[in-house]
Amino acid sequence: MPRADEFQLIERYFAPLTKHGDGEISAFDLKDDAASIKVPQGKELVVSQDALSENIHFFENDPLDLIAQKALRTNVSDLIAKGATPYAYSLALGLPKDFEEDAIKQFSNGLSQDQDKFGLTLSGGDTFKSPNGLIIAITAMGLVDEGAYKSRLDANIGDIICTSGTIGDAALGLQVRLGELKDLPKEHENFLRHRYLLPQPRIELVAVISQYATASMDISDGLVGDLIKLLEASNLSASLELDKIPLSNAAQSLPQYIETCITGGDDYELLFTVPKIHMDEIYGIAATCGVPITAIGEVKSFSGDMNNRLDILDKTGKPLSLTQNSYVHF
Amino acid sequence: MPRADEFQLIERYFAPLTKHGDGEISAFDLKDDAASIKVPQGKELVVSQDALSENIHFFENDPLDLIAQKALRTNVSDLIAKGATPYAYSLALGLPKDFEEDAIKQFSNGLSQDQDKFGLTLSGGDTFKSPNGLIIAITAMGLVDEGAYKSRLDANIGDIICTSGTIGDAALGLQVRLGELKDLPKEHENFLRHRYLLPQPRIELVAVISQYATASMDISDGLVGDLIKLLEASNLSASLELDKIPLSNAAQSLPQYIETCITGGDDYELLFTVPKIHMDEIYGIAATCGVPITAIGEVKSFSGDMNNRLDILDKTGKPLSLTQNSYVHF
């Protein structure tokens, strides 16, 4: 069988992904140069773009359906953190020259499953030859009510700092993957590996963010570093209580790695601030939807001292000092 | 001076590119994870994504401001071909590890100039480490009146096939660049090189497309191949008159390269069909705005014979046979 060309691959594996739309998103079976997207009255569009490249954001031997899902989910996670409901996405896919049709099939299967899970549809994109390894650049679009977009700039003094799920699992999972963490119980090892491989965007909490959050973002570069970014953007400071940070059983079994947990990347949990008076309602929603929300600190005024943006207090109230705040990109 | 990190580069060179918006596009100085984009009532969004990678879509020693502009313009060209006015764009930028701050500065200068020229603004994006060479994936957004999106699917029998500008210059420019075309007069050589290096999206013709076109696309993979795609999408056939295809002086001086001209890529001219009765109005607009529009053929019914999609007739009316219709991607 002759090797499928670009247009055949698009027709076979990507055009079907445009069928999930409800008529508001016209992708013309990917036979046109663009898509037409309607934004319902009273809504505005939220646009986020994340790019992943092989051996930096994922490993070349990771399953391709999970790579596709990780690429989509890092974007979906951004939308949710803004209080937006996922709507559509555009996919630029850089394929190395030896990429097989079966791999494309597996990749598109992963996307198809996640489109159903998160309620969005492919609107278009581009394929190109990658110089080396797979490259995935997704632009995701979501909808919020007009004026309801949640940035990271509007935290207020006295707000409670909340996070979803558990923190640090993905960073530990990467250590497992790199062979740094050995002799773990198999169940912990599998759990941590999976948390690194596949983020779980908290779609159940979109309404919490859009209704109650003052500032919000997702944690991609580590809890501490990302919280500092939120505080800088809001021109405020905060205190963080170390023993309140929610940890999985696996992470709790590795107390010597607490710094990895709170500074490592790839959590894709929500980090947001809310007025104290709403905490009871928020806990109620968290209980109903089964995704834990934990209060981990409080927003304070900023003295102007850059070295005093965030106090991390251990359970005796003593400030903790870290060797590095955040996953470093370059 | 220490090497600038990702966040410093974004703050210095990309955040200023978000200032061109008119308040409808909130990019939060690129300090947030996403952007909020308002779509005015009565409009819908047109979204296009094109990715370019080094040594495939451009050469590594091309000037970086022009590389940036080529990346943006290939997307702007798609928007215009859909009858859409450019509005915003998101930029995913894969940087090789030895990329210098001066190069980023030059790159962002190119974008800044083109934002002014084409009336759009940066809304967000992502930077990532490229495994090899520069990679640029842009998602461009434009606005059309509701229902006014022009696809390539709706040509009608009897419509006139039109193209803007001149055809084949970029394909010849690539040959010059590759050292295949020698001993040209300097003025032709420079003209062709420039046509390859920097597309000229025909923003002056947006209104022609949105008002008069039945089907429309831009020519990126060669006139013949792209016209066949339009005809396939519309389930029609056509005849094309070879001696009507508009050629620059430089291309006219190379008659032995006519096949390269009509099948080579990178024209980024408009290819559209219009009802015959509107041709006089269209010529009038073309004359006013200074961008030539040329009628090059006519849309016909399709017999069902795949080998009979497009007749290319020379000036004696004899059909021409080509070795290949289009630039091949993979």
Per residue in B279-326, pLDDT tens?
999 999 999 999 999 999 999 999 988 888 999 998 888 888 776 666
Lowest mean pLDDT among A248-257, B1-10, B34-43, B188-197: B1-10
Of the residues A5, A49, A145, A151, the best mutation for testing chain B's interface (the one with the most B CB atoms within 10 Å of its CB) is A49
B120 touching chain A per CB within 8 A: no
In tens, the pLDDT along B243-271 reads 999 999 999 999 999 999 999 989 999 99
Residues within 8 A of A (CB atoms), B 29-58 only: 31-39, 41, 44-57
Q: What is the mean pLDDT of residues B138-148?
A: 96
Chain B residues closer than 8 Å to A90 by CB: 47, 49, 139
Whole-number Å distance between alpha carbons of B106 and A73:
33
- Position A60 scores a pLDDT of 81
Residue of A nearest to B5 (CA): A330
Average pLDDT, chain A: 92
Q: Are the beta carbons of B139 and A135 separated by less than 8 Å?
A: no
Q: What 8-state DSSP symbol labels residue A12?
A: I
pLDDT at A326: 60
Does residue B176 sit at the A interface (CB-CB below 8 Å)?
A: no
Q: Is residue B233 within 8 Å of B215, Cβ to Cβ?
A: yes
Amino acid at B108: S
pLDDT tens-digit series, residues B53-77 = 887 888 888 899 999 999 999 999 9
Contacts across the A-B interface (CB distance below 8 Å): 211
Q: Do B56 and A129 make contact, defined as CB atoms within 8 angstroms?
A: yes
Search chain A and give the residue with CA nearest B94. Answer: A51
For residue B19, the model assigns a pLDDT of: 81
Decide if A149 and B94 are in contact by the 8 Å CB cutoff. Answer: no
Interface of A with B in 134-173 (CB under 8 A): 135, 137, 139, 141-142, 144, 146, 149, 151-153
Average per-residue pLDDT for chain B: 92
The answer on pLDDT for B327 being more than 60 is no
Percent of the residues in chain B that have a pLDDT greater than 70, as a whole number: 95
* Residue B330, pLDDT score: 40
Contact A233 B45 (CB under 8 A): no
Residue A70 has pLDDT above 50, yes or no: yes
Q: Does the beta carbon of B106 lie under 8 angstroms from any beta carbon of chain A?
A: no
Assign A21 a pLDDT band (cuts: 50, 70, 90): low
The answer to whether B248 touches B202, Cβ cutoff 8 Å, is no
Interface of B with A in 208-247 (CB under 8 A): 217-218, 229, 232-233
Cα–Cα distance for residue pair A324/A330, rounded to 1 Å: 14
| Inter-chain touch B53–A128, beta carbons under 8 Å | yes
Q: Where does residue A283 rank: exposed (0-12), middle (13-18), buried (19+ CB within 10 A)?
A: middle
pLDDT confidence of B3, banded at 50, 70, 90? Answer: low
SS (H, E, C) chain B: CCCCCHHHHHHHHHHHHHHHCCCCEECHHHCCCCEEECCCCCEEEEEEEEEEEECCCECCCCCHHHHHHHHHHHHHHHHHHCCCEEEEEEEEEEECCCCCHHHHHHHHHHHHHHHHHHCCEEEEEEEEECCCCCEEEEEEEEEEECCCCCCCCCCCCCCEEEEECCCCHHHHHHHHHCCCCCCCCHHHHHHHHHHHHCCCCCHHHHHHHHHHCCEEEECCCCHHHHHHHHHHHHCCEEEEEHHHCCCCHHHHCCHHHHHHHHHCCCCCCEEEEECHHHHHHHHHHHHHHCCCEEEEEEEECCCCCHHHCEEEECCCCCECCCCCCCCCCC
User: Above 80 in pLDDT, residue A35?
Assistant: yes
pTM as predicted: 0.93
Shortest Cα–Cα distance, A199 to chain B (Å): 17
Amino acid A149: pLDDT: 96
- A241 forms beta bridges with A313
In this prediction, residue B329 carries a pLDDT of 42
- Looking at CA atoms only, how far is residue B266 from chain A in angstroms? 14
- Is A50's CB within 8 Å of B79's CB? no
Is B139–A90 a contact, with Cβ atoms under 8 angstroms apart?
Answer: yes
B182 touches chain A (CB under 8 A): no
Reply yes or no on whether the pLDDT at A24 is more than 50: yes
What is the arithmetic mean of pLDDT over B201-220? Answer: 97
Question: Could B37 and A49 be called an inter-chain contact, meaning their C-beta atoms sit closer than 8 Å?
Answer: no
For the four alpha carbons of B105, B109, B112 and B114, in that order, the dihedral sign comes to negative
CB contacts of A6 in chain B (<8 Å) are: 329-330
Inter-chain contact B82–A26, Cβ cutoff 8 Å?
no
> Do B144 and A36 count as a contact with CB atoms less than 8 A apart?
yes
Mean pLDDT of B73-94: 97
CA distance A254 to chain B (A): 31
Using the beta-carbon criterion (under 8 Å), do A39 and B39 form an inter-chain contact? yes
d(CA B273, CA B297): 9
Which pLDDT band, with edges at 50, 70 and 90, does A1 fall under?
Answer: very low
Report pLDDT for A59.
81
Of the candidates B96, B27, B263, B131, the one whose C-alpha atom is nearest the C-alpha of residue A130 is B131
Q: Check B49 against A149: CB less than 8 A apart.
A: no
Tell me the chain A residues in contact with residue B129 when contact means C-beta distances shorter than 8 Å: 53, 56, 329-330
> Between β-strands A85-95 and A121-129, what pairing exists: parallel, antiparallel or unpaired?
parallel
- Average pLDDT of the residues in A293-306: 94
What are chain A's domains?
A: 6-145 (3.30.1330.10), 160-313 (3.90.650.10)
Dihedrals phi, psi of A91, to nearest 5 degrees: -125, 115
Q: At residue B31, does pLDDT exceed 80?
A: yes
Chain B residues with beta carbon closer than 8 angstroms to that of A53: 94, 128-131
Place of tokens 């529009």: B293
Average pLDDT rounded to a whole number, residues B95-112: 92
Give me the DSSP letters along A80-120.
HHTTPEEEEEEEEEEE-TT--HHHHHHHHHHHHHHHHHHT-
